[in-house]
Amino acid sequence: MPYRRLPNTDAARIRALKTALDKGKEVPPYKLAYSAKIILRLQKFLPLFEHSIQLQRQSIASQSKKSKDYNESLRKARIYLTHFIRVMNMAIFRGDLPAETRAYYGLATNESTVPSLNTENELISWGRRIIEGEEFRIRKGGSPITNPTIAVVKVRFENFLEEDNYHKTLLKKTYDYTERTGDMRKEADEIILEIWNEIEAAYPGLPEEIRRKECEDYGIVYFYRKGELERSNIIEPQNTIENKETSLQ
């Protein structure tokens, strides 16, 4: 005996809900296999569910599209900060600047290594230290470091901050839409289960094949188990042969 399977994708859920709603619109209330109150619930819920799914997909698409800009701005900010620190260290190595210069940027005076800029937090933290330190050093009368200048580094860094803020906004929006759609997905499953239970209960005395056909018209999906499907495939060709023999007689 075939068994029914509840939808497990959003497309299948929407199809099941729409099929049931369409049937509810075309069949008179006294003939409808499920209660009229569910029609009102369907009419209210279905558009909201579809809209929530659409917003989630649009948000994910926007996030994917903007991720390229975000990654590029992050890469450029990291490169310019790294180059600035290396140029500063080379000036110290040549004797153009004293080793104490590193203290303006929060760096150890006796180390020439570039600090880790691998994570967003590290990049933002060191970016602010480097920019503020160089601006303060210049105000104190120090010669500006060039190629790149701190002004160019600042532009790249602020571009990254802008992209980072927008990226986080998109992430938050996608998360909110995903959470909302997840909650509505649970409600959709509850509605479908309630409708299908009522539909099957409406045809208790009919032969199995007719009952299943009536239920399928309302959108219920049935599946054969592996053994049942094999038996069905064996029986159907036999029936076809018998029908042909009868027609020849």
Domain boundaries, the chain: 9-220
What is the Cα–Cα distance from 163 to 160, expressed in whole angstroms? 5
Above 80 in pLDDT, residue 63? yes
pLDDT band at 5 (very low <50, low <70, confident <90, very high): confident
Does the pLDDT value for residue 185 go beyond 50? yes
| For residues 35-59, average pLDDT | 94
pLDDT of residue 241: 38
Task: Convert the pLDDT of each residue in 190-217 to its tens digit.
Answer: 999 999 999 999 998 889 899 999 999 9
pLDDT of residue 129: 97
Arithmetic mean of pLDDT, 63-76: 94
Provide the whole-model pTM: 0.73
- Of 1-10, 97-106, 138-147, 175-184, where does mean pLDDT reach its minimum? 1-10
pLDDT surpassing 70 at residue 246: no
What is the per-residue pLDDT across 7-29, written as a single tens digit (0 to 9) for each?
A: 999 999 999 999 999 999 899 98
The mean per-residue pLDDT over the stretch 166-180 comes to: 95
Return mean pLDDT, the chain: 90
* Terminal-residue alpha carbon distance, the chain: 33
Q: Give residue 233's pLDDT.
A: 52
The Cα–Cα gap between 94 and 72 comes to 33
Q: CA nearest 23: which of 9, 37, 39, 8?
A: 39
Q: What pLDDT digit, counting tens, does each position of 109-143 carry? A: 999 999 999 999 999 999 999 999 999 999 999 99
pLDDT band at 240; cut points 50, 70, 90? very low
33 and 195 in contact (C-beta within 8 Å)? no
- The Cα–Cα gap between 111 and 91 comes to 14
